[in-house]
Amino acid sequence: MTEGAAEESNGSVVVKREPGERRGFARSPEEQCSPRSPQAVASIHRTVLPEKALPAEDTPMDHWAKDHYCFQVALINQVVKPPWIRCFGSLGTGFVGVRPDRGAVTPAAVAATAGVPEATAAAANDATAAREAEAGGGADAGAGADCTSGAAASTATCTDGAEAARAAGQPGECLVPADATIVIFVNAPGAALQTRGGRTIDGYKDALDRSQRTLEWSAQRSDKNNKRIEAIIGHCRRGGRVVVGVRSPSNRHFQLLGQVSHIDELQRARFLVEHGDHIIQERGTRTFHKTITVACLNIGLRSGVGLAAARYPLKGEARWCSACCYAPPKALLHFGELQDEGVAAFQSPARASWQRERAKAKLEAKLEADSPVVPLKRLRCKQPVVKEEKTLSPPRVCVKAEIADDEAPPRPGPGMTAVKLEPPEEPTEGMSPEAFGYSMAVAS
């Protein structure tokens, strides 16, 4: 150890750190998405903590997830006979790995999981025990080596399996058991965007080619180091089982699309912002966007938060939007046979949900129009008194209307003089008897 070197003991692992050595995963976005060199991998292996052991039984959170994500559990029960336990990923995300619940993990299963012979696994176990003895683990190290039952046995054997995988040149961070089944969940392109906690968690673009029996699949945006997608590809190449389920826009249930035969055309995740690019900052935060899309919507953008322009590179810490600043890892999944139910669910349009929403909006508008009383907004503070003056309208006068007689003579209008007709006593000169009789009849 050179001068000024520091030595730290963390449990059963001795970590040696040189002056100026960068520890952990404190790297720039470009370094996180770029392939690691052998020197970088060796440096990480010297400084990281031991890998998490595979769970021997369901945790309380797993029991809650099985009750909450019932539609994903229903699909898993179709492809894996219950009871089963989670061993990779988690429910409620894009994929999960499950294995039959067979109790404690045996050394043979660990060797098969790592894909190496049992002799190599035993050598890795001896090397681990030797390092623990040098670290001064004492009785704790011996107890860890002699543990043979329950969850402790599972933890010890799974850690040894990671060491065996690393000895064989395989990554030990994302260890998937050989008997595990990885289930990939995909939403149809016509499905509505899903949100969680006011944040959009959907918006992936998957394409299905029925003639070629392939699916262009986008993995999780949070997989910036490509660990999870590489673990899935490695599990499939070792002969592991990988299946895909699809959920249609009009139904919450998942339909089985098919079993994956092989995976190729891997596109790794990458950071999209380059030097000199103009970016957008949410005011009051350190969150930056390259191009705001529907997948970027969060509580701040929905409420109309202020935006500001900036330019990359930035000074200080920055939180990059995973939807527009990173390209998610992608891969091409090949199927031996496609299920008709899954294909129909993937290609189903979003007309059913659109028609339901439109009918609901029409019904609400009709009820509001038919309601005689318009609901008023409730005032939750003291309001000033407003005096309303009532204007008195002139009183109405009742006028009796009589029906006019058709045979009665018309009443004289303005500018007309009423003349009383009296019958003549004797006919005048030149009046014929017929005219005299007519005048008498009119006068009477």
Distance CA 361, CA 365 (A): 6
Report, as an integer, the average pLDDT of 161-178: 54
Distance CA 113, CA 158 (A): 9
- DSSP string over 128-146: HHHHHHHTT-THHHHHHHH
CA angle 91, 97, 99 (to 5 degrees): 115
- Of the pLDDT bands very low, low, confident and very high (cuts 50, 70, 90), residue 24 is very low
Lowest mean pLDDT among 199-203, 215-219, 330-334, 400-404: 400-404
Lowest mean pLDDT among 8-22, 91-105, 310-324, 408-422: 8-22
pLDDT digits (tens, 9 = 90+) for 35-86: 555 555 454 444 443 445 555 566 777 788 888 888 999 999 999 998 899 9
- For the entire predicted model, the pTM comes to 0.54
- Of the pLDDT bands very low, low, confident and very high (cuts 50, 70, 90), residue 3 is very low
- Of the pLDDT bands very low, low, confident and very high (cuts 50, 70, 90), residue 366 is confident
Contact status, residue 181 vs residue 79, Cβ threshold 8 Å: yes
Highest mean pLDDT among 151-155, 174-178, 273-277: 273-277
In this prediction, residue 152 carries a pLDDT of: 36
Residue type, 435: A
Q: Is the pLDDT of residue 128 over 60?
A: no
**Closest C-alpha among 134, 99, 241 to residue 184:** 241
Domain ranges of the chain: 1-49, 53-99+180-268+328-350, 104-173, 278-324
Give the three-state DSSP class for 77. helix
Q: Which residue has better confidence, 441 or 231?
A: 231
CA 216 distance to own-chain centroid: 19
Dihedral (CA of 268, 272, 275, 281) sign? negative
> What CATH fold (topology level) applies to the domain 53-99+180-268+328-350?
PUA domain-like (2.30.280)
Mention every residue, 6+ apart, whose C-beta is less than 8 A from residue 349.
190, 249
Distance CA 141, CA 131 (A): 9
Give the three-state DSSP class for 215. strand
Helical H segments across 210-251, by residue range: 227-237
Unique residue bearing structure tokens 């986008």 = 218
**Closest C-alpha among 215, 220, 134, 210 to residue 174:** 220
Distance CA 113, CA 108 (A): 8
Unique residue bearing structure tokens 């009789």 = 437
